[in-house]
Structure 1
């Protein structure tokens, strides 16, 4: 089943995509309701669709498929770390700590962008994309999403979508020298879509260790520059979800990004390997197409940056301790 949100004729609808039709849920139900219902109630959710309200898919504008309460983005591909560390820090390195546990950062749920969106980037000489797959969290009866074991965490994963973690590498590099970030290097946009494919649809691609052997591709300016298998992640999604819940909580609608695929899953990886800016950074008008087997295709076009409001540098302060 493909869960989606879309706009048509000035209204927003939520439901499922069936073949070439967008079929809304009846009785005011939403994708959020479907996620809260969870994997165990997918058959019931399918029955919510109101065929009488179906529209041709070509006649609707897809929206971000989930209004995510939070977005955690992991860095689960060793090959990506090897390449991008050279581009950002000047030396290719996978630190020992990377292997110990999966690492993630929180990105901005308020700047999520849909399939086909024009993304306005910051002023950047090193604008990049990132090819990712994201797990979308749902509900499980009897679980509040805290401190989950791997098996229970897997049951919380309702489905998967494609994710483009747009990145301004020069901004990111400056911030991370202060031991924080990526922050504004990522803050401006993350694309999700085109829909959420429920986890049961991808079971045929799952290996004995829980990894999904999906082929993923990145196309920039009409050229394929990245190709990998999702199963090259260092941890399967169920383990990422379990770690995200440790001493914390995951809730329906939360998004867990895989991190960037290797073998050209972003430009920075290639820059790190070649020592130059080839392929060249993204520029206004460029379209990035990410394709994931079993899910579909996510498109995004680079818009024109807007000059930021100028801010002064930090002022040296006297460090007096009283007025």
Structure 2
């Protein structure tokens, strides 16, 4: 089931038809996947209405956004570009590392994002996010898997020149990541996507800029599963319904900085105002965003 927030309100979307939900997704998600599916099925018994891409808004507002780094090839490529380092840190293999990004700077499908004033190395990052329908602390991997509500596409926009400088402090990314994250086009409920025997999702992920293909990877190349990520995030801490946990950037050109690191030059060039970034993930949909 695809759950979206439209200009007309929260809805189940099925092809070009939408069916109104009785509550916003921010209220539906905490009810859990099973109840949400029941409410969605009831909504589809009602009268549908036509909608278009221009009607799609930010699907929901997560209480928190954790962004992981789970693709080994991404780490290796970006370190050359951002950190002036080579290889993958040994500590990366210990656990699914993440940082918290800004839950107040979120953009929906088709929205134009502002480039930070001093940024001249603007980048995109192709990711898949998992949405929690249950919370808790110290979850087992089995409990974490049961907590999954659904999935969405995430574009973690990055100011690489700001990030490169501030990472020298050793505290992690801050203003280089603080200004924009795009989410959408909707949430695909967990029952729609089948897990592989190892708990991974094997989905094709692609990104293009102004219609020119830039990167492609399989989501199954994640070093950790979403269940492992959720369990780790909850360890000695707490996760809440509605929390968004992003996979981190795919390899294979899931961001420009990876390609810059491998080429030793900014090829393809950084994003400029007017550029349009299109992300496609098998089984989820297409998320488009532009630079204002």
Q: Structure 1: how far apart are the matches of 2:185 and 2:120?
A: 28
CA contact (8 A) 1:7 1:63 kept: yes
Which residue number in structure 1 is paired with residue 274 of structure 2?
285
Cα distance in 1 between the residues matched to 2:180 and 2:44: 33
Report the equivalent of 2:81: 87
**Counterpart of 2:29 in 1: which secondary structure?**
helix
Counterpart of 1:92 in 2: which secondary structure?
A: coil
Q: 1:116 offset after TM fit, Å?
A: 0.2
Question: What's the counterpart of residue 220 of structure 1?
Answer: 209
Matched, 1:61 2:55: yes
Are 2:232 and 1:243 aligned?
A: yes
Q: Secondary structure at the match of 1:184?
A: coil
Deviations 1:101-155 (A, max 9, x none): 010000001010001000011031111000000000102xxxx511100000011
Secondary structure class of the residue paired with 2:43: coil
TM-score (norm 2): 0.96
> How far 1:92 moved relative to its partner?
2.0
For structure 2, the residue ranges without an aligned partner over 5 or more in a row are none
| Larger-Rg structure | 1
Partner of 2:133: 138
TM-fit CA distance, 1:42: 4.2
Query: Structure 1 residues 59 and 289, CA, compared in 2 at 3 Å: closer, same or farther?
Result: closer
> How many Å apart are 1:57 and its aligned residue?
1.8
CA distance in 2, matches of 1:101, 1:201: 28
* Superposition CA RMSD, Å: 1.4
CA distance in 1, matches of 2:102, 2:53: 30
Moved over 3 A (4+): 50-54
Matched with 1:155 is 146
Q: TM-score, normalised by structure 1?
A: 0.87
Name the structure 2 match of 1:18. 14
CA shift for structure 1 position 51:
5.4
Report matched runs for 1:133-212 at 5 Å: 133-139=128-134, 144-203=135-194, 206-212=195-201
Q: Does 1:117 align with 2:108?
A: no
* Structure 1 residue 73 corresponds to structure 2 residue 106: no
3-state DSSP of counterpart to 2:130: strand
Asked if the contact 1:115–1:300 (Cα under 8 Å) also holds between the matched residues in 2, the reply is yes
> Given the alignment, which residue of 91, 94, 97 partners 1:103?
97
- Would you say how many aligned residue pairs link Structure 1 and Structure 2? 291
